[in-house]
A and B are shown apart, each in its own frame.
Chain A
C-alpha cells in the first residue's frame, strides 16, 4: 500500500513539473526514477520512450504506466498513471473555473519565458546522459544522427522511424554475430 502511495506522489510531482510537453519530463524521470528510487535504468527509460512513440496515447502517460507496472504490477501501472495526470486535472480545472485571461497575466508569460530556457538546458543534459548509454558504437551513432536529422527536417511519421531503427538494430546485430561466428570458425580450422 505504501509503495502505491509513493508511486502516486512521485508521479504527481513529475506531472506537476513537466512544463513543455512529454520530453520535458525526461530530466525529472532521470532524477526521481533512476537516481533517487532506482525503479528503472536509463536503458529502460529509453525503451519506454521508444515504445511510447509508436503506441497510442501520450508519451508521459505511457512512461508512467511502464514504470508503475515494473514497480507494482497492474495496479502500480494504473496508480502511477493517475498520479501523472492528477496535477493537470487540478490546475486546468482551476484555470477553467476562475481565470479567463490566464495568458494575459504578464508575470505568467515572463515566468514561462524563463522556464522554457531552463527546459532547453535540462533536456540537453538529459540527452547527453542518454547518449552515453545508447550510442556506444558506429552503427548506433549512424542511427542516432539519421533519426535526429530526419525527424528535424522531414514530416515522416515517428512510428516509421522507430520501426525502421528496430529493424536496422536487429539486422546489424545479426550480421555482426554471423561475421563473428565465421571469424571464430576460420580460426578453429
Chain B
C-alpha cells in the first residue's frame, strides 16, 4: 500500500514539475508536510548529495525518499513513478512530431526554438561557472582585492588547461569521461594542497 502511495505522490510531482530538477522542490516541500515521510532538512541534505552524485535531482530525491520510506522496493518504484508521466507525454509528442516533422509550420517554430534552447543552456552554464570558478561570498565590489579574492585561481587554471586540452587534435576526440575523471583527481590534489 505504501508503495502505491509513494508511486502516486511522485507521479504527481513528475506530472506538475516543469522545467528541470529544481522545479520539483516546491512539490517535495509540500509532500514532506503532508506525508511526514521526510523533513525539510532531508531535502537540504539531498540537494547537497545530488550536487555530488551523478543523475538528476528529482530522481535522486525520489530514490532517497523511497528507500527511507519503503526500503529497496521503494527506492525503485518512487523514481519510476516520477518518470512515468513524462514518458507518456514525451512518447505522445514524439509520435506527433514524427508525423509533422516535414510540416512547414513545425519547421518554422523549431527555427525559433533552437537558438532559444542554446540560450537557455548557455545561461545554465553561467550558473555552473559561478559555483565552480568563483567564491561569490568574497565579492565586495569592483576593487582589485575583491576580484582577486572572488576568483578561484587554481580552478580557473584548471579550466584554462581543459579548454586547451579539449581543442588539441587527438585528445579532443576522447570521451568526456576522461576529462571528468582527470578533473576529479586534480580537484582532490588541490583540496589536500589547501588550494580550494
In the bound complex, how far is the Cα of B17 from the Cα of A74, in angstroms?
23
Asked if A58 meets B56 with Cβ closer than 8 Å, knowing A147-B116, A152-B126, the reply is yes
Are A124 and B55 in contact, CB atoms less than 8 angstroms apart?
A: no
Q: How many residues of B contact A (CB 8 A)?
A: 91
Per the bound structure, the CA–CA distance linking A157 and B182 in Å amounts to: 36
Contact flags (1/0) for A128-169 with B, using CB distance below 8 Å? 001101110000110111111001100001110110011111
Q: A residues touching B (Cβ–Cβ < 8 Å)?
A: 15-24, 26-28, 31, 43, 46-47, 49-62, 65-66, 69-70, 74, 77-78, 81-82, 85, 87-89, 91-93, 95-97, 102-103, 106-127, 130-131, 133-135, 140-141, 143-148, 151-152, 157-159, 161-162, 165-170, 172-174
Q: Which residues of A lie under 8 Å from residue B91 when comparing CB positions?
A: 65, 69, 74, 77
Q: Which residues from chain B contact A97 at a C-beta distance below 8 Å?
A: 67
Task: Specify which chain B residues have a CB less than 8 angstroms from the CB of A22 in the assembled complex.
Answer: 20-21, 56
Q: How far is the CB of A37 from chain B (nearest CB, A)?
A: 13
Instruction: Write the chain B residue with the least CB distance to A133.
Output: B114
Picked from A118, A127, A134, A161, the residue with its CB within 8 Å of the CB of B179 is A118
CB <8 Å contact, A127 and B115: no
Q: How far is the CB of B191 from chain A (nearest CB, A)?
A: 3
- B155 in contact with A96 (CB, 8 Å): no
Q: Tell me, rounded to whole Å, the shortest Cβ–Cβ distance linking A158 to chain B.
A: 5
Residues of B within 8 A of A140 (CB): 111-112, 114-115
11 pairs, CB–CB < 8 Å, chain A vs chain B: A17-B176, A65-B86, A87-B55, A88-B54, A89-B63, A89-B79, A121-B163, A127-B118, A127-B125, A152-B123, A166-B109
Residues of A contacting B179 in the complex (Cβ-Cβ under 8 angstroms): 118, 121-122
Return chain A residues, CB-CB under 8 Å to B187. Answer: 110-115, 117
B111 contacts A173, C-beta separation under 8 Å = yes
A109 touches B176 (CB 8 A): no
**Beta-carbon contact of A17 and B54 below 8 Å:** yes
- Once the chains bind, are A60 and B191 in contact (CB under 8 Å)? no
Which residue on chain A has the smallest CB distance to residue B77? Answer: A89
Distance of B31 from chain A, by nearest CB (Å): 16
The interface residues of chain A lying within 8 Å CB-to-CB of B129 are 120
The interface stretch among B1-9, B43-51, B136-144 is: B43-51
The reply to whether B59 and A89 contact each other, CB–CB distance below 8 Å, is yes
Q: How far is the CA of A92 from the CA of B15 in the complex (A)?
A: 22
